[in-house]
Amino acid sequence: MQAICLQDKSLKFIDNFPQIQPQYDEALVRVHLAGICGTDLELVKGYYPYNGILGHEFVGEIIKAPTAPERIGERVVGEINISCGICDSCVTGLTTHCQRRSVLGILNRHGAFAEYLCLPLKNLIPVADTISDEAAVFTEPLAAALAIQQQVHILATDKVLVIGAGRLGQLIAQTLALTGCDLQVVARYDKQRRLLATRNIISIKETQIQTDYDIVIEATGSTEGLTLASQIVRPRGTIVLKSTYKGKTLLDFSKIVVNEIKLVGSRCGSFKPALQLLEKKLVDPTILIEFSYHLNQALEAFDFARQSGKFKVLFKII
């Protein structure tokens, strides 16, 4: 099969990658669309020592399921964390923190930038016919955006700021707008502001940032963004960290303690609420699509995706 692999920090298109096969209680999925995200770009730069097929945002069709043949033909998206089900984290319901987990296209599991992938049947969630492939491929990052609201109770009276209006920041903004909160998004580029405006979301420049926000979501993954968040959140306010930070990050923890600020790390979210939003058309991630490439255009696609200000780049596989 065709696949895009990362080998020793080198990105390669392989035309004859060995065909993968599902294990017990797994399914073989023919991938329709797959999306490049910030994590993929960071993996190529050496953020984490991963070797294998990249990609974890996808929509596809089950074509083989030895233990569940009735599911063949389902159009699906997939939860990316594969848990063992028996460790302490799994037993307590924290499956995304499974001590033995693998992660699609990130940790010990070949990913979605290929003609086929394998995932456990329990990880594969059916997609309603009313949701297009172009929308469904955003399920994983949309679920990650919604995870914020599963961790922090956001009220309509809350003053909320999102720092960063890139791929994930845009989705976070769309989901937060549904709460009716007093929402602002820091956006550097005109294109970012135009996309936010299509959803009636207020964007501001860095020079317009105020203080005493109840909740600040840091979605840039930069030390500057984290420092800014700590300076503008109100005492006893909440900072949500929605991006990983490469290397060590300095932060004035004395101020965090004195102002009794709550820090919340936020990673993966549940797919079903994300699919419900897509089905009801309460969000529209498709406005973020920049361009689609074929797998054999891997280097060109990644070069385009890493350009400043670019949004979602897809691989169209069938």
With a cut of 80, say whether residue 228 has pLDDT above it. Answer: yes
Q: Can you give the pLDDT at residue 47?
A: 78
145-265 maps to which CATH number?
3.40.50.720
Tell if the pTM clears 0.85, that is, is over it: yes
With a cut of 80, say whether residue 87 has pLDDT above it. Answer: yes
**Straight-line distance from the first to the last Cα atom of the chain, in angstroms, rounded to the nearest whole number:** 13
CB atoms within 10 A of CB 122: 13
Fold match flag (3-126+284-316 vs 145-265): no
Q: Can you give the pLDDT at residue 182?
A: 98
Task: Please determine, looking at this structure, whether the domain spanning 3-126+284-316 carries the CATH number 2.40.30.10.
Answer: no
Give residues with Cβ within 8 angstroms of 201, minimum separation 6.
173, 174, 177, 183, 185
Q: What angle do CA 299, 191, 243 make, to 5 degrees?
A: 65
With a cut of 90, say whether residue 247 has pLDDT above it. Answer: no
* pLDDT, tens digit, 9 for 90 and up, residues 22-64: 999 999 999 999 999 999 999 998 878 899 999 999 999 999 9
Sign of the dihedral defined by the CA atoms of residues 201, 186, 243, 103, in that order: positive
pLDDT, the chain, mean: 95
* pLDDT, tens digit, 9 for 90 and up, residues 7-21: 988 999 999 999 999
* pLDDT, tens digit, 9 for 90 and up, residues 163-205: 999 999 999 999 999 999 999 999 999 999 999 999 999 999 9
Domain ranges across the chain: 3-126+284-316, 145-265
With a cut of 80, say whether residue 246 has pLDDT above it. Answer: no
With a cut of 90, say whether residue 248 has pLDDT above it. Answer: no
Q: Can you give the pLDDT at residue 240?
A: 97
- What is the average pLDDT across 70-80? 97
